[in-house]
Amino acid sequence: MKHFLLIFMSVCTLQASAQTWTQLGTPPATYEARNHPVTFSIGQMGYITTGAGNFYNSDCYQYDPSNDTWTRLANFPGGPRSFAYGVESGGKGYVGFGLVASSTSVTYYNDLWEFDASNNTWTQLASCPGQGRRHPAMVSTPGKVYVGCGDGATGNLNDWWEYDIATNTWTQQANLPAAVRHHPYFFGIGDDAYVGCGHNGQSIYKDFFKFNAVTKAWTAIPSLPTQGRVAGTQFAYGGKGYLLSGQGEDHRNLATGEMWEYDPATNAWTSKTAHPGTGRWAPGSFVINNTVYLTSGAGFGNSQIDISDLWKFDLPAAVAVNDIVKDNNINLYPNPAQEELFISIDKKIKSIKLTTIYGAVLEASYEITASSKATIDITNLAAGIYLLQVESEGTISTKQFVKQD
């Protein structure tokens, strides 16, 4: 027998945080002003390592936003370098690639290192079978790290490599279906890795593409609705991707510290509040809770002076999915969806809750077709990002999905 449940609950009224940039305390004197720092966050802490100023660096710092303090940690064991990148996945950091150069030699790295913040230790993982390279794209999706594009000893690249964290193995995937390039922008949303912009010495691009970790297929998304750009920073938050700062089509710092938001629900870009000053060449950024932190790079017009500072910008508060998931064994499809969502789980369903990413509970109609299966009618939902919580026997499973028009 089919049972129909109708849940009516009021939608919470939420206020967004102030949309202004605030300068914080400067890094310690031991932190050299630099461009191309590797930046990522784990839990409530931010991390910064490598990059180049007067020297190639391997120092590593932890930033605590609760008291605006920096702590120097053990050096990154992969050695001094610049043009490297790092991401967080599953509560650990992953750092690699880049180069170190002298007057007589250049070394392009293809290595990968895992950082465990619980004991401040690094572990070297399997190296990528592809070419060593500097300033590639590096994106994390659940259980995967993707690396591609960049430039190496043979020039600019558009290859694409998938690293499986559980098996410590690399697999080559289909190339980016566009021109070779380095210094692109990139971010991950759910199972999708996004890559675009960048340049190859001839052109500076504004195109963008999506790679799905499940289907292994590339899809073009709308190009950035402004000039092409290169050498900025990027982050994902609340089911959206953000491009921040960088240089324009003349390969000079942007006139302002532009920020652009991509919403996969509407498949569109929106301009957001720029950071103070001009754009920066190769800064870093990381997100803690609903705050993005911007640091370093080279700026102050086109003088290309390396910077040592830290700014923050508060984004609208969103539900931290990782904090509420107790058991993520839910299978939810299709995603994105337009009319119906189908749910299956390996235990008996007790309740279903549909919320916005801000935690507001929404009205919806649920059809329970079996003890471990359900169908949700979402035809009346506006396009956007939503969360679905399914309570089963002893667990709460949470999944993010996209409603499309």
Mean model confidence pLDDT for the chain: 88
For the stretch 164-181, pLDDT in tens is 999 999 999 999 999 999
End-to-end CA distance of the chain: 31
Average of pLDDT values for 299-312? 85
Q: If you average pLDDT over residues 66-83, what whole number do you get?
A: 97
pLDDT at 144 over 90: yes
Q: How confident is the model at residue 326 (pLDDT cuts 50, 70, 90)?
A: very low
Q: Is 157 exposed, middle or buried (0-12, 13-18, 19+ CB in 10 A)?
A: buried
Give the pLDDT of residue 301.
63
Furthest C-alpha separation in the chain: 77
In this structure, the strands spanning 85-89 and 21-23 are unpaired
> Per-residue pLDDT averaged across 297-309, rounded?
84
Query: How large is the average pLDDT for residues 206-225?
Result: 96
More confident residue, 356 or 237: 237
pTM: 0.78
**What would the mean pLDDT of 94-120 be, rounded to a whole number?**
96
133, 196, 191, 122: which is closest to 331 by C-alpha? 191
Is the Cα dihedral 97, 285, 52, 275 positive or negative? positive
Q: Does domain 321-403 have CATH number 1.10.150.120?
A: no
Per mean pLDDT, which range of 64-73, 123-132, 333-342 is the poorest? 333-342
Answer yes or no: is pLDDT of 319 > 70: no
**Is residue 327's pLDDT more than 80?**
no
Give the length of the chain.
405
- Structural tokens at position 230: 């290169």
Between CA 270 and CA 224 the distance in angstroms is: 9
The pLDDT assigned to 396 comes to 74
Q: How far apart are CA 97 and CA 87, in angstroms?
A: 12
Please give the backbone phi and psi of residue 51, each rounded to the nearest 5 degrees, phi first: 100, 170
pLDDT at 302: 63
Please tell me the predicted confidence (pLDDT) of residue 306. Answer: 94
- Write down the pLDDT at residue 318: 63
Q: Where are the domains of the chain?
A: 21-314, 321-403
How does residue 1 score in pLDDT terms, banded at 50, 70 and 90? very low
Check the CA dihedral 342-348-351-353 and report its sign: negative
For position 328, what pLDDT does the model report? 55
Residue 41 has pLDDT above 70, yes or no: yes
3-state SS class at 36 = coil
Q: Establish whether domains 21-314 and 321-403 are of one fold.
A: no
Which is it for strands 69-73 and 121-124: parallel, antiparallel or unpaired?
unpaired
Helix (H) / strand (E) element for 324: namely: helix 321-324
pLDDT band at 322 (very low <50, low <70, confident <90, very high): very low
The whole-number pLDDT of residue 307 equals 93
Q: Residue 290, class by beta-carbon neighbours within 10 Å (0-12 exposed, 13-18 middle, 19+ buried)?
A: middle
Q: Does domain 21-314 have CATH number 3.20.20.60?
A: no
In this structure, of 14-28, 75-89, 252-266, the range with the lowest mean pLDDT score is 14-28
pLDDT category of residue 88 using cuts at 50, 70 and 90: very high
pLDDT of residue 243: 98
Average pLDDT over residues 256-263: 97
For residue 323, is pLDDT > 60?
no
Q: Are 322 and 40 in contact (CB under 8 A)?
A: no
State the pLDDT at residue 15: 35
pLDDT band at 241; cut points 50, 70, 90: very high
Specify the range with the lowest mean pLDDT, choosing from 45-59, 192-206, 338-352. Answer: 338-352
Task: Assess whether pLDDT exceeds 70 at residue 5.
Answer: no
Both tokens of residue 9? 């609950």
Q: Output 299 or 209, whichever has higher pLDDT.
A: 209
